[in-house]
Chains A and B, each alone.
Chain A
Amino acid sequence: MKKLLFGILAALSLAAQAQTEISFYYPVAVGGPITKIIDGYAAAFEKENPGIKVKPIYSGTYQESIVKALTANKAGDPPVISVLLSTDMYSLIDEDAIIPWDDLIKAEVDRAWVKSFFPGFMENSQTGGKTWGIPFQRSTIVLYWNKELFKEAGLDPNKAPANWSEMVEYARKLTKKDGSGNVAQWGLQVPSSGFPYWLFQGFTTQNNIVLMNKDGTQTYYDHPAVIEALQFWVDLSRKHGVMKPGIIEWGTTPRDFFERKVAMMWTTTGNLTNVRSNAKFDFGVAMLPAGKRRGTPTGGGNFYLFKKSSPQQREAALRFVRWITSPERAAQWGIDTGYVAVRGDAWDTPEMRKYVQGFPQAAVARDQLQHAVAELSTHDNQRVTKALNDGLQAALTGTKTAEAAMKDAQREAERILKPYRK
């Protein structure tokens, strides 16, 4: 009897040892469909991998998640993996919180896996020859347009503006005033609250200029081409009168679009499912118009691996992240959420082919990826970004000229980044 009991105990403790738990911070502002999908993934993975337990922890918005992850890291108890903004890479490295995935990648299949992601998404995931982030929920900016309003204005409803001058010309035709001279319908909206730098990167990329160097130690905010790009953005409302003056709220922009207060809007592909279910009119999705070239920044979140984890946890984490980014799951994730499926072969799966056939707008973001550049990210990222955000808002509200605003922003960025250049 006693022996049996010991036997059971021994078996139990063995099982406990074999069980590796990986905690997983996942940013989601509200519960609902997305948490259900993630919970489903965790359960399915555990079923296929009995030794591993995945514990998703919903950690609020991206901003709240990085705060929680870094605070937990300072307290010595970070998650094993976390989805955080791709732009937080340098901050996480500077805090010595994460390790590159390369340390774990030994097999050839693993190397092939890292290479399978769209190169555009890897730009924000690699630095110094190492891969720190694995793309998961990534997005780009696209242009949505209201086909009905295009028709009313005498434009071809199936043709989006292909370049800057067409965009201005269309927007002018789409801007309507009521009897008292108030604008009832704007031609175009590019949001500028919260994180205007991201939208601005659309303009700068199209003007064929990058905002920072690859090491994240230098910005080019006051380059003439950057100032020119900003001037174009400012002129949309100031000179051409086709966009609402002042700061345009990011959060209410899709609603303005649904309410037909604006005919074209720039916003994330992550809004695709939202627009599809709420727009009561025929709408189109297009790549952003070209200036000197086409262009958009990428955005969204990557998987990071935290340093304070055991070798078993790291192995388990790699297994989980490989599993969740497999072509089938990447495809399903894209279909369910509107994010861009992060690897080419995900778009060749039968489900994705069927989805794109019924809803061709979904493929626009993928096709635009060849023109995509890395989202603005440097050391001390949030501070350097804030310098640009403040400058952009100052120019858009008219308190500073484009040139003065960008000179001030560059000066501030220089001050912050100097210590990182060695």
Chain B
Amino acid sequence: MNRITAQVHGWLLLLPAAVLLAVFTHYPAGATLWHSFFSTPKPSRPGVFVGLDNYRGMVEDPVFWQSLANNLWFALGTIPVSIALALLMAVWVNGKLAGRAFLRLAYFTPTVLPMIAVANIWLFFFTPQYGLLEQFTGLFGLPNHNWLGSRESALGCLIVVTVWKEAGFFMIFYLAALQAIPPSLYEAARIEGAGGWTVFRRITFPLLMPTTLFVLVNAVINSFRLVDHIVVMTRGGPDNATSLLLYYIYEVGFKFWDVAYASALTMVLLVILAAAAVVQFGFLERRIHYR
């Protein structure tokens, strides 16, 4: 009897979260999969079952492939750099130096600003001729460049903005983790006569690995989730050079009103994120906890 009560008790405690998850996460994911097998319903012709047609269309859609490739470059460009930068900043502002609180605040500020505001600021940084960047490169006599207006540099510009925005956020996690490392380990290392680099490589870095995993998960998700700055800065242009997968889904879903194809694209995004989660939690996690 007691055992059943405990069971019921447990389930009741789980219920609110479970209901929210089911309604707002699992059901929409399932429904999206379902819709991706139908054609987009229109008032004149209701949606019909088309099997894998939407996915077949995707294979032939050059904009989809371009967006996917862009997104991989975007992930490759943002994830390692923002993590490395976050770690560097955290180690620095963790040390004893004057104006430490101010520095931490300064590094964290980009995180607090809304992405739309950030993108608008950077839009003027990248402005050709009199933008901040141009004025700076002009000092060295470098030629003018239309940063957001050429295919070669537009995606790079978005990567820079994203790194700038994210690194401060990740720094906070590293900072918290750094302060949780027992000082006795450092003292022991010093007694052993270890240098600064060895201490970092053999103590700090390994003990930060769980945080790195957490940050990595977030960075991967963000690289597929952040599109606000694209809306402000390039709208996917020039000629789709900065179209990321989620931005393309938005265009197909809410500009073209092709719900079925947008569902199929969403499934691709879900699969990518699920695969990333499996690698991160199933594989990496097992190797990095030192307990």
The chain A residues found within 8 Å of chain B, CB to CB, are 63, 67, 70, 91, 94-96, 180-184, 192-194, 244-249, 251-252, 255-256, 259, 261, 380, 382-383, 386, 389-391, 393-394, 396-397, 399
Contacts and interface: CB of A to CB of B under 8 A. Distances in A.
A182 B43 contact: no
Given A256-B130, A394-B239, 12 more contacts: A94-B43, A182-B144, A194-B235, A244-B129, A247-B238, A252-B124, A259-B130, A261-B129, A380-B256, A390-B239, A397-B150, A397-B151
B235 A193 contact: yes
A249 B144 contact: no
B228 interface: no
Contacts of B127: 249, 252, 255-256
A393 B255 CA distance: 19
B291 interface: no
Contacts of A244: 128-129, 144, 146, 149
Interface string B241-277: 1000000000100111110000000000000000000
Contact of A246 (B42, B123, B146, B254): B146
Contacts of B138: 182
Contacts of B258: 383
A391 B239 CA distance: 7
Interface residues of B, number: 32
Contacts of B124: 252
Contacts of B63: 390
B237 A193 contact: yes
B141 interface: yes
A89 to B, nearest CB: 14
Contacts of A389: 237
For A70, A182, A194, the residue with the greatest tally of chain B CB atoms inside 10 Å of its CB is A182
A272 B180 CA distance: 59
Given A244-B128, A247-B146, A251-B123, A393 B237 contact: yes
Contacts of A390: 63, 239-240
Could you tell me the dominant secondary structure of chain B's interface residues?
Answer: loop
Interface of B: 42-44, 63, 123-124, 127-130, 138, 141, 143-144, 146, 148-151, 234-235, 237-241, 251, 254-258
22 contacts: A63-B255, A67-B254, A94-B43, A94-B44, A183-B144, A193-B234, A245-B149, A247-B148, A247-B149, A248-B149, A252-B127, A256-B130, A259-B130, A380-B256, A382-B255, A382-B256, A383-B255, A390-B63, A390-B240, A393-B239, A396-B238, A399-B151
A399 B148 contact: no
Contacts of A246: 128, 146, 149-150, 238
Contacts of A393: 237-239
Contacts of A245: 146, 149-150
Contacts of B254: 67
A393 B146 CA distance: 14
Q: Which 6 residue pairs of A and B lie closest in terms of their CB atoms, listed nearest first?
A: A246-B149, A247-B149, A246-B146, A96-B43, A393-B239, A393-B238
For A67, A183, A247, A399, the residue with the greatest tally of chain B CB atoms inside 10 Å of its CB is A247
Nearest to A61: B231
B254 to A, nearest CB: 5
Contacts of B150: 245-247, 397
A249 B149 contact: yes
A397 B238 contact: yes
Contacts of A255: 127
Nearest to B128: A244
Given A95-B257, A252-B123, A247 B44 contact: no
A249 B235 CA distance: 11
Given A194-B237, A261-B129, A249 B148 contact: yes
Contact of B256 (A181, A252, A383): A383
A92 to B, nearest CB: 11
B130 A261 contact: yes
Nearest to A95: B43
A390 B151 CA distance: 12
A202 B239 CA distance: 20
Contacts of A391: 239
A77 B234 CA distance: 33
A253 B138 CA distance: 21
Contacts of B123: 249, 251-252
A393 B127 CA distance: 18
A95 B251 CA distance: 17
For B128, B130, B138, B251, the residue with the greatest tally of chain A CB atoms inside 10 Å of its CB is B128
Contact of A91 (B129, B234, B239, B257): B257
Contacts of A96: 43-44
For B124, B143, B238, the residue with the greatest tally of chain A CB atoms inside 10 Å of its CB is B238
A399 B239 CA distance: 9
B232 to A, nearest CB: 9
A318 to B, nearest CB: 24
A380 B44 CA distance: 14
A95 B235 contact: no
B253 to A, nearest CB: 9
A249 B258 CA distance: 28
A255 B129 CA distance: 12
Nearest to B231: A63
Nearest to A96: B43
Nearest to B240: A390
Contacts of A380: 256
Nearest to B138: A182
B151 to A, nearest CB: 5
A241 B69 CA distance: 33
B230 to A, nearest CB: 12
Contact of A193 (B42, B129, B149, B257): B149
B258 to A, nearest CB: 8
B63 to A, nearest CB: 8
